[in-house]
């Protein structure tokens, strides 16, 4: 089905949204849109205006999730809707495509169906989730975590930013603390279009990716305790250097990930992304180091192999270096497979629209991870130039945005029960 996606209308929506929270950049188009801020308010207002302008009924729930529902005469108003969307917030000095592309591609899919005069059997809901990036409240995916019941409304509203402002207060300030709870379990299906944030599509020249699995993510918090002492007066064989021990841990994580990639899963990654050294003085032997470790893959087994190497290495460091260690795993998301029927529908939509599609996995977390826990879900990717994201130089060619939206529109139409004869 070739639906009449209006690429200029899509581009205008994304560029207009990029003006909210715009920041100066030597190259590219930057924006800073944190949840509950003035730029977030204006971005939400513009979205609601566009949703209402397309004839959608707009609601805002208690945590600020925005939903616009199109229920044409052909649709059973009591049927579970097909939902589509993403988010409007950004990281500090982020780009203009991460999030808004998915929201406005979802709206453009509805507009294209309206322009074509097709007759869906189900309502279609366009969604913008609150605080996907996790830059002000919580650790990301906040709105979707509430929508799937993983986090309660009250728990979410009580979250505080670094200045002690609660989510409830921030949403109230911008007039987007609504009522009730958007319930993703009531949806028949969910689609999200996002930029890839990698180079698989760019390197293959394919304009649309169909994600088969979203990577699992686990974070390990490690503390290594030695003894701080004078760097000049402490002999080398009298030291219990926490940083020297931590350096072995860093290399052990790298080796473990390399081994998993070579023998089991090419998509596995392991990163020691943060180190905090105490007392962090040039003339003092480091006494304590805390390390943050990020492990990701599309299979749980390979993730566990890398984490096991972390705990094995800590035990060895205690024996060989005399340090004390502690290990915690504060964040753990299992790999999330996508719906087979929705992925097939996306490939079929690409074939019908004359747009090539490619199976791949997602190495980043998205709201779809949560939604897939309660209903069928699928994630589509558009190419990212040089794989750059969370940066003003983030860029997806407008032709690729339109091609991915055509695939999205066809897939959503299929899920909504639009027949091929419409």
pLDDT (tens digit per residue) in 361-407: 998 889 999 999 999 999 999 999 999 999 999 999 999 999 999 99
Ramachandran angles phi, psi of 15, nearest 5° = -65, -40
422: pLDDT strictly greater than 70: no
Q: Residue 15 — very low, low, confident or very high, per pLDDT cuts 50/70/90?
A: very high
Question: Is the pLDDT assigned to residue 359 strictly greater than 90?
Answer: yes
Residue 388 in any domain: the answer is yes
- Give the domain extent around 80: 7-213+335-415
pLDDT number for residue 421: 60
Same domain? 370 vs 302: no
Which tens digits make up the pLDDT trace of 130-160?
999 999 998 889 999 999 999 999 999 999 9
CATH number at residue 267: 3.30.70.360
Q: Which H or E element spans position 317?
A: helix 300-321
Q: What is the CATH number of the domain that holds 96?
A: 3.40.630.10
Q: What is the pLDDT of residues 18-45, one digit of tens each?
A: 999 999 888 889 999 999 999 999 999 9
Please state the domain count of the chain. 2
Region 169-190: what's the mean pLDDT?
98
The string of pLDDT tens digits covering residues 88-117 is: 999 999 999 999 999 999 999 999 999 999
How sure is the predictor about 13, in pLDDT bands with cuts at 50, 70 and 90? very high
pLDDT category at 419 given cuts 50, 70, 90 is confident
Task: Note whether residue 182 is domain-resident.
Answer: yes
Give the integer Cα–Cα distance in Å for 388 and 199.
9
Q: Return the pLDDT at 292.
A: 98
Going by pLDDT thresholds of 50, 70 and 90, the confidence category of residue 2 is confident
- pTM of the full structure: 0.90
Residues 272 and 288 grouped into a single domain: yes
User: Which residues contact residue 260 at a Cβ distance below 8 angstroms, ignoring those fewer than 6 apart?
Assistant: 268, 270, 297, 302, 305, 306
Q: Is residue 420 part of a domain?
A: no
Together in a domain, 328 and 382 = no
Q: How far apart are CA 212 and CA 306, in angstroms?
A: 23
Q: Above pLDDT 90, what percent of the chain?
A: 95
Q: pLDDT per residue over 216-268, tens digit each?
A: 999 999 999 999 999 999 999 999 999 999 999 999 999 999 999 999 999 99
Residue 206 and residue 233 in one domain: no
Kindly state whether residues 318 and 397 are assigned to the same domain.
no
Q: What is the pLDDT of residue 140?
A: 87
DSSP letters for 270-314: EEEEEEEEES--TTEE--EEEEEEEEEESSHHHHHHHHHHHHHHH
- Around Cβ 315, how many Cβ atoms within 10 Å? 12
Residue ending a domain, choose from 333, 359, 381? 333
Q: Please check whether residue 38 lies inside any domain of the structure.
A: yes
* Cβ atoms 167, 158 nearer than 8 A: yes
Query: Does residue 341 sit in the same domain as residue 329?
Result: no
According to the model, what pLDDT value does residue 326 have? Answer: 98
Give pLDDT, residue 169: 98
The DSSP symbol for 178 reads: -
- Domain-terminating residue out of 333, 355, 384: 333
Mean pLDDT of all residues belonging to the chain: 96
For the cut 80, the answer to whether the pLDDT of residue 414 exceeds it is: yes
Supply the pLDDT for residue 365.
86
> Does residue 235 share a domain with residue 124?
no
223 and 163 share one domain = no
């Amino acid at each position: 089905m070739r639906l009449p996606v209006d690429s200029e209308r899509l581009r205008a929506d994304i560029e207009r949204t990029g003006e909210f929270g715009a920041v100066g950049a030597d190259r590219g188009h930057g924006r800073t849109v944190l949840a509950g801020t003035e730029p977030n308010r204006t971005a939400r207002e513009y979205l609601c205006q566009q949703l209402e302008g397309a004839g959608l009924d707009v609601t805002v729930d208690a945590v600020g999730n925005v939903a616009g529902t199109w229920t044409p005469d052909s649709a059973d108003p009591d049927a579970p809707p097909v939902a589509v969307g993403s988010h409007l917030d950004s990281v500090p000095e982020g780009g203009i495509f991460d999030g808004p592309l998915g929201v406005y591609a979802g709206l453009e899919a509805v507009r294209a169906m309206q322009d074509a005069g097709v007759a869906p059997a189900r309502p279609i809901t366009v969604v913008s989730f609150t605080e996907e990036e996790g830059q002000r409240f919580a650790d990301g995916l906040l709105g979707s975590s509430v929508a799937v019941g993983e986090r309660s409304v009250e728990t979410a509203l009580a979250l505080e930013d670094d200045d002690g402002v609660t989510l409830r207060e921030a949403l109230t300030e911008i007039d987007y603390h609504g009522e009730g709870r958007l319930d993703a379990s009531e949806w028949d299906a969910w689609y999200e279009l996002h930029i890839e944030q990698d180079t698989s599509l760019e390197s293959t020249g394919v304009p649309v990716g169909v994600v088969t699995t979203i990577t699992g993510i686990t974070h390990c918090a490690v503390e290594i305790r030695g003894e701080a002492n004078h760097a000049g007066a402490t002999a080398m064989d009298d030291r219990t250097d926490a940083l020297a021990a931590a350096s072995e841990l860093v290399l052990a994580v790298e080796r473990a990930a390399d081994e998993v990639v070579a023998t089991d899963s090419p998509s596995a990654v392991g990163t020691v992304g943060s180190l905090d050294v105490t007392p962090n003085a040039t003339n003092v032997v480091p006494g304590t180091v805390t390390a943050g470790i990020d492990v990701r893959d599309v299979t749980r087994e390979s993730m566990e192999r890398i984490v096991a190497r972390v705990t094995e290495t800590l035990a060895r460091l205690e024996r060989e270096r005399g340090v004390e260690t502690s290990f915690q795993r504060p964040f753990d998301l299992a790999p999330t497979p996508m719906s087979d029927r929705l992925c097939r529908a996306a490939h079929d939509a690409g074939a019908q629209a004359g747009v090539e599609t490619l199976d791949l996995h997602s190495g980043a977390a998205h709201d779809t991870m949560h939604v897939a826990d309660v209903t069928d879900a699928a994630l589509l990717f558009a190419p990212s130039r040089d794989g750059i994201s969370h940066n003003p130089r983030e860029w997806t060619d407008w032709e690729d945005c339109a091609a991915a939206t055509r695939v999205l529109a066809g897939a959503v139409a299929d899920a909504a029960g639009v027949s091929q004869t419409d």
